[in-house]
Structure 1
Amino acid sequence: MMTALIVDDEPFARRELRRTLEPSKDIQILGECGNAIDALTRIHVDKPDVVFLDIQMPQITGIEMLGMLDPQTMPQIVFLTAYDEYAVRAFEKNAFDYLLKPVTADRLELTLERLRNSFFRQDFSVLPEANHLRQIPCFSQNSVIFVKASDVEFVEARSTGIYVSDTDGQERPTALRLNILQQRTGLLRCHRQYLVNIDLVHKLQYLESGLAEFVTQRGRVIPISRRLLPEIKERLGIS
């Protein structure tokens, strides 16, 4: 039994897709979401096997939402789109599955057969919108809070998870790993446990041990690893 989530901002489109899916006895529809914010929460909590994802949604597009999911735990994605020649060419070139709206039963069955027979890791790195996070999703019990990447002071990895600290001193957990945040934001890796927003750094100060640390504009001290120090100094133009 595959579990599925439908994500589309058009209620009629959601109802029609649900109606077309319901005759399939091996698909359990967990629910529907009308926007990416609700969808991220449901994916985080319910962990569906497949998400039928509309591309054009307000505030956060479907492709932007992909960048907020960890590739290691990401469900299979089937894109939903009205006819868009450019989008269809891009999906076919990269072997992404997609359904043109309105979805027909015959075309949906081809997609379901593919899902039944070949679960594979999808590589969305070719989609620019999925590789640049403007906002970082931070999860609480039943909600998601978006922190603008420009407002992030630093990110810290602890034994209990990954925590995002902002310019107001608020600290929130995120499901994204440090390396994903490093790849998809402008945050600088300065230590195996830390990323820092270099735009919010007040100074780099040296320690007697030969190590160094950043001091943020808010006075937080962020360690710099010995291994990364030469690379950081080069990036900052420090001789």
Structure 2
Amino acid sequence: MRLLNTLIVDDEPAAIEGLRLRLEAFPQIRVIAEANSVAEAIRAINTQMPDLIFLDIEMPEQSGFELIRQLQPEQCPAIVFVTAFHQHAVKAFEVRALDYLLKPVKRERLAEAIARVGEVTSIRADKAQLLAAVAELSTEGHNQSSSTAEKTTAAEPQYCIESQKLVIQDGRNPIQLIPYQDIIWIDAAGDYMCVHTQTETHVMRARLKSLIDERLPDVFVRIHKSTVVNLTYIEKLQPLSNSEYKAVLANNKVLKVSRTYARALKQRLLG
């Protein structure tokens, strides 16, 4: 039996307490942290590295789907969504969460969800699949009466780069121009990338290699096969085992620096 280090994320303290008490009946579950917001959850994930998250969807400021956008692909835990809104249940399942639970959580359904987690070989979530579904959900309001030509454009998202800004254009949402100086880091999962600024995370359909080949400004450095970071936001490097590091950013985000890219990063930081 695998012991699963578990994080509970919900903006309602009573909901967290109720779920934690129910989870005590399952010896394979060890609750290591609780969070009332996406920001708290990110801090807990960075420090505790859970195997499993019970994730509420509807929360103030940022939803559970926003948390998905901020997870590094190689560190994405298994996810079981928890929601009081039935319309989210099917959506949650469609984003390839291992399962979803409706509030109030019943013990029988909780047992089924935990059994499902225990059955899978790898309990890491596939962020590429999660992002694909989140991107689809974010465009549900798009006018379904679009012409065939418009639908073709929407099915083939594009992006381009200007000297001072990254231009994101996917054919369905307004064109977004993001100053490079505002971009803290970019991570990729399959055909999708998350562009992180201080206040927002933008999802764009493109591959990281293509973006790098289009000559991102020199201030951006690759620290992992799926991650590039703006050097100006790195505040310190914390050594790990196997010559790897953690890069601590100005917004307290912690990113993994793989051994492959650690030496080049240190050289850039030391001048």
- Aligned ranges for residues 13-32 of structure 1 at < 5 Å? 13-32=15-34
The 2-side partners of 1:93 and 1:170 are apart by 35
Distance 1:68 1:136 in 2: 14
Matches of 2:94 and 2:233, distance apart in 1:
42
Equivalence for 2:7 = 5
Structure 1 position 163, deviation (Å): 3.6
Q: Report how far residue 37 of structure 1 moved.
A: 0.5
Residue 126 of structure 1 aligns to a residue whose secondary structure is helix
CA contact 1:136–1:148 (8 Å) conserved in 2: no
Hey, what does 2:221 align to over in structure 1? 157
2-side partners of 1:158 and 1:12: how far apart?
A: 42
Structure 1: how far apart are the matches of 2:90 and 2:110?
Answer: 19
2: CA distance between counterparts of 1:149 and 1:31? 25
Q: Take 1:19 and 1:28, find their aligned partners in 2: how far apart are those partners?
A: 11
Deviations 1:164-184 (A, max 9, x none): 36xxx655535568xxxxxxx
| Cα deviation 1:6-55 (Å, max 9, x = unaligned) | 00000000000001101111111002111110110110111100011111
The structural deviation recorded for 1:59 is: 1.5
RMSD, matched Cα:
3.6
CA distance 1:92–1:148, change in 2 (3 Å)? closer
> Alpha-carbon deviation of 1:83?
2.6
Q: CA shift at 1:146, angstroms?
A: 6.6
Distance 2:138 2:27 in 1: 32
Contact 2:10 2:56 in 1 (8 A): yes
Deviations 1:41-95 (A, max 9, x none): 110111100011111111221101110011221000111101332x222234454
Question: Is residue 134 of structure 2 the alignment partner of residue 127 of structure 1?
Answer: yes
Deviations 1:170-222 (Å, cap 9, x if unpaired)? 55535568xxxxxxxxxxxxxxx9xxxxxxxxxxxxxxxxxxxxxxxxxxxxx
One-letter code aligned to 1:48: P
Q: Find the counterpart in structure 2 of residue 107 from structure 1.
A: 109
Give distance in 1, aligned partners of 2:230 and 2:198.
8
Kindly indicate whether residue 125 of structure 2 is the aligned counterpart of residue 61 of structure 1. no
Question: How much has 1:147 moved relative to structure 2?
Answer: 1.1
Q: CA, structure 1 residues 116+148, in 2 after alignment: closer, same or farther (shift >3 Å)?
A: same
1:91 alignment counterpart: 92
- Structure 1 Cα separation of the partners of residues 73 and 138 of structure 2: 11
Question: What are the residue-to-residue correspondences of 1:1-239 with 2, within 5 Å?
Answer: 1-85=3-87, 87-96=88-97, 97-118=99-120, 119-120=122-123, 121-122=125-126, 123-124=129-130, 125-128=132-135, 147-148=198-199, 156-157=220-221, 162-164=228-230, 171=234, 173=249, 175=254
For the structure 1 residues 146 and 159, does the alpha-carbon distance in structure 2 shift closer, same or farther, using more than 3 Å as the test?
A: closer
TM-score scaled by length of structure 2: 0.52
User: Greater helix share, 1 or 2?
Assistant: 2
Partner Cα distance (1:159, 1:92) in 2: 32
Q: Distance in 2 between matches of 1:40 and 1:108?
A: 24
The structure with more radius of gyration: 1
